Amino acid sequence: MNFSKEIYIGPARSIEEEGSTLVFDFGSEGFERGFAIRIGGRIYAYRNWCPHMGLELDWVEGDFFDHSGQYVICSNHGALFDPASGKCIYGPCEGQTLKPLNIRIMDDGVWVTTYPHN
Ligand code: FES
């Protein structure tokens, strides 16, 4: 039995440019927030939840990159994450990772696979 489901999070054109982001709600009650980012020509998606204190990463909605544009940053205490792996490479949660979400482009839309425990 498969409990996963795919949810549409936006048009593919909204995340075509390098460094663009897309925020979305997901989860069984829609209370979880996630974000998708394009970097290095690829799209990655994560739950918007910092492993340090369980807070959302962005103070300004959709603002996930540090000043260099190379790393995802948590606005709360400055943890830096590798955007491709989600691994914290600097900060209070160093070595921990963001929770990845599966993403795919289909019919010119961006879809995320979620599970009940998401
Ligand atoms: S809550 Fe993210 S670094 Fe502290």
pLDDT per residue over 76-89, tens digit each?
999 999 999 999 99
For the domain with range 5-63+98-114, which CATH number is right: 1.25.40.10, 2.102.10.10, 3.20.20.70, 3.10.20.30? 2.102.10.10
CA dihedral 111, 97, 43, 35 (to 10 degrees): 50
pLDDT for position 114 = 76
Pocket of ligand 1, candidates 49, 58, 59, 74: which has the most ligand atoms within 8 Å of its Cβ, to mutate? Answer: 74
Beta bridge partners of 9: none
Pocket of ligand 1, candidates 55, 58, 80, 99: which has the most ligand atoms within 8 Å of its Cβ, to mutate? Answer: 55
117 pLDDT more than 60: no
Q: What values do phi and psi take at 15, rounded to 5? A: -130, 30
Secondary structure class of 27 (helix, strand, coil): coil
55 pLDDT more than 80: yes
Q: Does ligand 1 lie within 6 Å of residue 59's CB atom?
A: no
Distance CA 64, CA 106 (A): 24
The pTM assigned to this predicted structure is 0.91
Distance CA 105, CA 74 (A): 26
Q: How much is the average pLDDT of 59-74?
A: 95
pLDDT for position 26 = 83
- Domain boundaries along the sequence of the chain: 5-63+98-114
Q: Does ligand 1 lie within 6 Å of residue 74's CB atom?
A: yes
115 pLDDT more than 80: no
Ligand 1 centre distance from Cα of residue 7 (Å): 27
